Amino acid sequence: MPRSTVTIDLQRATTIPTAQLPTPVQLKTWVTAVRAALKKTTTPIELTIRLVDSSESAAFNQRYRGRAGATNVLSFPFINPPGAPSSCALLGDLMLCAPLVIQEAHVQQKELFAHWAHLVVHGALHLHGFDHQDANEAAQMEQLETQIVTGLGFAAPYEVI
């Protein structure tokens, strides 16, 4: 993999023990893998990844998506203001709900850090403009997620155990 051009501002706003949270190195590796898969390794980017508890996730989910309850990952792409250079390095923000990620991994019988990796990859793809609003978009995004996550050495994220 080429030299990383990814800078992450990691914010921990959760009571979950550090041992159950991804490290800055893991996060950077996972986002860099997304960039490599998209062949965007030369443009430097910055993003914020905020690890939160359920209450903060639920508040943001309600405010920005109109949905009640916590969600595993929220993405907030940066939109260049008019007149800003198009080479702006800010990609956006990801918010991951640590208790929910851990609960999902347990319920779905997935290795914890494989699930963390999958959700970071999923969120980073959203920041790069990917979505899953219809079946074609969902299939394309799932295929790319699977390619990236398995390339990182984890099990395919959509396989039913």
Task: Determine the Cα–Cα distance for residues 52 and 100; give it in Å rounded to an integer.
Answer: 10
Percent of the chain with pLDDT over 70: 94
Q: Which residues span the domain enclosing 92?
A: 6-151
Identify whether 87 is part of a domain. Answer: yes
Non-local (6+) Cβ contacts of 15 within 8 A are 53
Q: Domain of 94: which CATH number?
A: 3.40.390.30
Would you state the pLDDT for residue 42? 79
* Domain assignment present for 53: yes
| Maximum distance among all Cα pairs of the chain, rounded to whole angstroms | 49
Residue 161 lies in a domain: no
pLDDT of 105 higher than 60: yes
- Tell me if 115 is assigned to a ligand binding site: no
CA–CA dist 37, 130 (Å, integer): 13
In a domain, 29, yes or no: yes
- State the pTM of this model: 0.92
Q: Report the alpha-carbon distance of residue 125 to residue 145 in Å, rounded.
A: 8
Residue 47 located in a structural domain: yes
Q: Is residue 20 part of a domain?
A: yes
- Band (29; pLDDT cuts 50, 70, 90): very high
Residue 121 lies in a domain: yes
Residue 86: pLDDT over 90: no
Q: Is 122 annotated as a binding residue?
A: yes
Angle at 51 between CA 50 and CA 52, to 5 degrees: 110
What integer is the mean pLDDT of 46-69?
A: 97
Is residue 126 part of an annotated ligand binding site? yes
Q: Two tokens at 130?
A: 């990917």
Domain count, the chain: 1
Q: Give the gyration radius of the chain's Cα atoms.
A: 15
Asked whether residue 157 is assigned to any structural domain, the reply reads no
pLDDT at 25 over 50: yes
